[in-house]
Amino acid sequence: MEYFIELFLSGLTRGSIYALIALGYTMVYGIIQLINFAHGEIYMIGAFVAYIVCGVLTIYGFHGVSILIIAGLLAIVYSCAYGYTLEKVAYRPLRGAPRLSPLISAIGMSIFLQNYVLLAQTPDFLPFPALIPDFAFMEPIAHIIGSAELVILVTTMVTMVMLTLLIKYTKIGKAMRATQQDMSMARLVGVNVDRVISTTFIIGSALAAIGGVLVASYIGQVNFYIGFLAGVKAFTAAVLGGIGSIPGAVIGGLVLGLTESFAAGYVSSDYEDVFAFGLLVLILIMRPAGILGKATKQKV
């Protein structure tokens, strides 16, 4: 039973990270029907910025949680700037173009950003310091859930609740929902749609950066390629939950994380991806639009 709980919590941790990144995919898709393949790279850049900031702060004698907070905030700022610029440079000029064009642009940006970090930094795996300390109060249950996992769970949950409130109750949230439902009508009631799209990219990038910092600190290394793997998983989570749906992304992420964790624990960690993608295929056969996705009628 204890083993089950351990797997469950580790799956939840993993899943909450997938969910955090999947939110970026799903929000962008919901608004402009674009799969932003460069989203994983934003996550990677967040982790890299945190790595660099950590190095600098360590020299100046900071440590532990203070580094985590400063590095996290800077990573968010940088990632947001990248996300905003990405939309402005690579997607906005293609706003009226057929859907395939921005998609290709997205793949191009993904490759570009990976190689940019590869050249500007290094192709090697860099050791990322464990920034999350082991809390004393976690001692008795440390064999079931570690402090780092707890911090990841709490942070992602708080972030997702905040996002939900933002979308439900604020002006920008309403503008996002209106743009998602009918972009040209939103314009006609005075919504500055371009600004809403920029804001969506900024919010998505901030979530990705939070994910990047937490995971890098948890796993203990960064590399220019981590964004691709995380991106594929998160994209899977978004599709699983129903792309375009925000609660769908969270559920998809958690389902994917739990499946992987149980498959790794009870079968073999070599097979975790087989189970994860097998599940994806099964769900897509039964519910082609994803768990919470709505089957959309094509507008003619």
Partner 1 sequence: MSDTQKQVLLEVKGLTMDFGGLRAVDSIDLTVSAGEIAALIGPNGAGKTTFFNCVTGIYTPTGGDVLLHPQGKPTRRVNGKKPNVITTLGMARTFQNIRLFSDMTVLENVMIGRHCRTNTGLVGAILRGAAARREEQETVEFGYHLLEQVGLAEFANEYSKNLPYGAMRRLEIARAMATEPFLLLLDEPAAGMNPQETDELDALICRIRDEGKIAILLIEHDMKLVMNISDNIHVMEYGKKIATGTPQEIKDNPKVIEAYLGEEADA
Contacting residues toward partner 1, per CB under 8 A: 162, 166, 170-175, 177-178, 181-182, 184-193, 199, 202-203
CB of 257 to partner 1, least distance (A): 27
Closest to 16 (Cα-Cα) out of 294, 223, 298, 251: 251
Q: Which C-beta is closer to partner 1: that of 173 or that of 265?
A: 173
What DSSP line would sit under 107-156, residue for residue? Answer: HHHHHHHHHHHHHHS-SS-EEPP--SPPPGGGGGGTTTS-HHHHHHHHHH
Closest to 230 (Cα-Cα) out of 46, 27, 29: 46
Contact assessment for residue 222 and residue 216, using Cβ atoms and an 8 Å cutoff: yes
Q: Which C-beta is closer to partner 1: that of 20 or that of 283?
A: 20
Q: Which C-beta is closer to partner 1: that of 36 or that of 245?
A: 245
Could you tell me if residue 293 is left (phi over 0), alpha (psi between -120 and 50 degrees) or otherwise beta? beta
Q: Which C-beta is closer to partner 1: that of 2 or that of 296?
A: 296
Q: Which C-beta is closer to partner 1: that of 92 or that of 177?
A: 177
CB of 168 to partner 1, least distance (A): 10
CB of 193 to partner 1, least distance (A): 7
| Cβ contacts of 194 within 8 Å, gap of 6 or more | 92
Structure tokens at 93: 């000029």
CB of 137 to partner 1, least distance (A): 30
Q: Which C-beta is closer to partner 1: that of 121 or that of 164?
A: 164
Contact assessment for residue 47 and residue 128, using Cβ atoms and an 8 Å cutoff: yes
CB of 160 to partner 1, least distance (A): 14
CB of 185 to partner 1, least distance (A): 5
Please state, in angstroms and rounded to a whole number, the distance separating the CA atoms of residues 23 and 162: 13
